[in-house]
């Protein structure tokens, strides 16, 4: 495999009146894969119905983790590393937020070229 390049993101969104609010990362570039070692998400403002962490591939969502009835200002995270292939997109879905909630996802991992 190619050289590993550290990947760290702090992704933020403000909720609106939508049922689901997705925080979406950038696509994994062609010819690369991204190992997500850690994702932590929170609604800094209010309790909500559920949180899902997963990815989007070819218009289909694939969920790795789900937390029901998350509390405000509490971090929730994945238990183990996951690998995204080229064109996959990391997604953190917040359901049941209120208007103007502050949503955040912290992402740690690395990207590497596929041989």
Domain range annotation of the chain = 5-113
The answer to whether the CB of 86 falls within 8 A of the CB of 4 is no
Q: What is the pLDDT of residue 2?
A: 73
Q: What is the pLDDT of residue 1?
A: 59
According to CATH, what is the number of the domain 5-113? 2.60.120.230
pLDDT in tens, 13-27: 999 988 999 999 999
What letter would DSSP give residue 97? P
Give the C-alpha separation, 49 to 31, whole Å.
37
Q: What is the pLDDT of residue 115?
A: 78
pLDDT in tens, 87-96: 999 999 999 9
pLDDT beneath 50: ranges in the chain: none
Report the DSSP beta bridge partners of residue 10.
106
């Amino acid at each position: 495999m190619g050289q590993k390049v550290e990947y760290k993101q702090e992704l933020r969104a403000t909720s609106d009146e939508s049922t689901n609010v997705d925080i979406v990362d950038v696509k994994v570039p062609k010819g690369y894969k991204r190992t997500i070692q850690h994702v932590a998400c929170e609604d800094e403002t209010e309790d909500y119905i559920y949180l899902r962490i997963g990815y989007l591939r070819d218009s289909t969502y694939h969920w790795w983790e789900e937390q029901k009835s998350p509390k405000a200002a509490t971090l929730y995270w994945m238990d183990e590393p996951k690998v995204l292939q080229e064109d996959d997109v990391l997604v953190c879905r917040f359901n049941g937020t209120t208007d103007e909630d502050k949503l955040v996802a912290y992402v740690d991992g690395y990207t590497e070229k596929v041989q």
